Chains A and B, each alone.
Chain A
Amino acid sequence: MGSGELRYEISQNAYIKLVLHALKHKAAAVNGVLLGRLSDRGDAVEVLDAVPLFHSHLGLLPNLEISLLLIEEYYGSKGMSIVGYFHANERYDDTELGGIARNIGDHIFRYFPQAAVLLLDNKKLEALSNGKDRSPVMQLYTRDSSKNWKLVSSDGSNRLITKEPTANVVLLDYMTSEKWQNVVDFDDHLDDISKDWLNPDLFK
């Protein structure tokens, strides 16, 4: 079954964690993985959690492999698997899905054929404080039949939604209080293992 008309539903915590991570490292590209499962009816992918990965040398394999090993080990025991990948480009007006994101997406796709790649939409993020837009500040990419990652148009299709409709309101709140300072990613963990990439206390 391909991802033809699949919906992607991302939980508020996963969504906010990823955006805050990007905001913590404004001058760098960052990435993360999406954890979750296929819905019982098979019509949607539920993204239940996310782990922020790196803010430097995104294109290098060793740290990525270690992080995926540990993440799969942890979430596997909770009945979840890696269902997608998140990427935020270094520059504000770079709206392209680059090679690194595509390659990592391909790897995840091999284990989960309904995988999604989410790219941070900087313009939408900037406009967050203006409007009452409830849609996520991310672009959705899925694999098409010719093995390419294609942008899913957000006009009226609503294929990517946040599970909680107030997610953007909460996100704005956290942005005002500069909550991004507390986000821990895998880079931080590797530098200081007492820092927990699960971010258990982030939303307490």
Chain B
Amino acid sequence: MVTKSEEDQLNRLEAQVDNAGGGAWEYLCLVRKLKVRRPDKVLKHGLAILNDSKKRSALGTEEWTLCEQVAVAAMDCQSLDVAKDCIKVLRKRFPDSKRVGKLEGMLLEAKGLWAEAEKAYSSFLEDNPFDQVIHKRRVALAKAQGNITTAIECLNKYLDTFMADHDAWRELAEIYISLQMYKQAAFCYEELILSQPTNPLHHLAYADVLYTIGGLENLQAAKKYYASTINLTGGKNRRALFGVCLCTSAIGQLSKGRNKEDKDSPELQLLAVAALEKDYKQRAPGKLPLLTSALKSLRVSS
């Protein structure tokens, strides 16, 4: 997960490299660090370095890291010949490496040779049953073949052992959401909030899921988590601001005719609306009238 400033920095570097302004190695390192997926750029710029013997030897031992990075990007772009060459070079340099073995497994996946890939991964796990990377490749393998139920099973089993793996919890939550299994997704976000309570994105996703499930209690809880997101992001997260407005409106509709105590005070919504209008006035003034009348229609129903 990447913050906005990290993403801006990455995009700036990318534009610079694209326009032949140099900084390719810096860009590739940043991509690796942030774990983002930009296969076309990595392939293009990484290969350019690898094919230039001067630049390549200037990297020293980092040459192999780059080789690995380019191999994965090549597989993502279906440039399987490039991937094969990179992996061959790595295999020659590191003949007994499990890390290269994982790449060879991924190449089988990229070729669609599912059974062979499964065999390779199973034999890895026999030797080392705690290899997290290989476990996760098996989940990816199931997902790629469309066996979502198997993917979920594998991921749940993995999380029984490696319950601190946040990426895995997030992947599981996303799979559940794509299948509209919202309660299960909520559970995943609860785990994430427990282990990373100051990460606003978990609060936001949890609120979104609660809102989607619906019902008065969930809407009230969702509103709280939108509020905590706003708190953690200094009021800058637009999705949370919108979320507050939606919750207030939906809660209002559901609690029509109920006791006054059940109704929330309107302050939070008024603040959210004000914050949104200020933001749009500054950065998207053309859309401000649209926003105002849309928010008004939300308020009318509350």
Contacts and interface: CB of A to CB of B under 8 A. Distances in A.
Interface string A160-204: 000000000000000000000000000000111110100000000
Interface in A127-162: none
A101 B238 CA distance: 25
Contacts of B279: 193
A125 interface: no
Given A57-B174, A193-B279, A62 B205 contact: no
B4 interface: yes
B294 A70 contact: yes
A42 B212 CA distance: 36
Nearest to B289: A73
Interface string B275-293: 0000110011011001101
B205 A57 contact: yes
Contacts of A63: 208, 239, 242
A103 B179 CA distance: 12
B235 to A, nearest CB: 14
Contacts of A29: 178
Given A69-B297, A93-B146, A190-B239, A61 B208 contact: yes
A52 B115 CA distance: 37
B178 A59 contact: yes
A190 B279 CA distance: 11
Contacts of B180: 59, 99-100, 103
Given A70-B294, A193-B284, A99 B212 contact: no
* B interface, size bucket: 20 to 34
Contacts of B290: 70, 73-74
B87 to A, nearest CB: 21
A187 B80 CA distance: 32
A70 B180 CA distance: 24
Contacts of A103: 180
B37 interface: yes
Interface string B199-218: 00000010111011000000
Interface string B143-155: 0101000000000
A203 to B, nearest CB: 19
B10 interface: no
B211 A62 contact: yes
Nearest to A29: B178
Contacts of A90: 178
Given A57-B205, A73-B294, A193-B283, A62 B178 contact: no
B242 A66 contact: yes
Interface residues of A, number: 30
B285 to A, nearest CB: 10
B86 interface: no
Contact of B298 (A56, A69, A74, A91): A69
Interface in A92-108: 93-94, 98-100, 103
A58 B291 CA distance: 22
Interface in A60-96: 60-63, 65-66, 69-70, 73-74, 90-91, 93-94
B42 interface: no
A91 B239 contact: no
B208 A191 contact: no
A179 to B, nearest CB: 14
A66 B239 CA distance: 9
B177 interface: yes
A61 B211 contact: yes
A66 B302 CA distance: 16
B209 A58 contact: no
Nearest to B209: A60
A94 B294 contact: no
A69 B294 contact: yes
B246 A65 contact: yes
Contacts of B182: 59
Contacts of A56: 174
A161 B179 CA distance: 31
Contacts of A190: 238-239, 242
Contacts of B284: 193-194, 196
A73 B296 CA distance: 11
Nearest to B280: A193
A60 B291 contact: no
B11 to A, nearest CB: 11
6 contacts: A62-B246, A73-B293, A90-B178, A100-B180, A192-B4, A196-B286
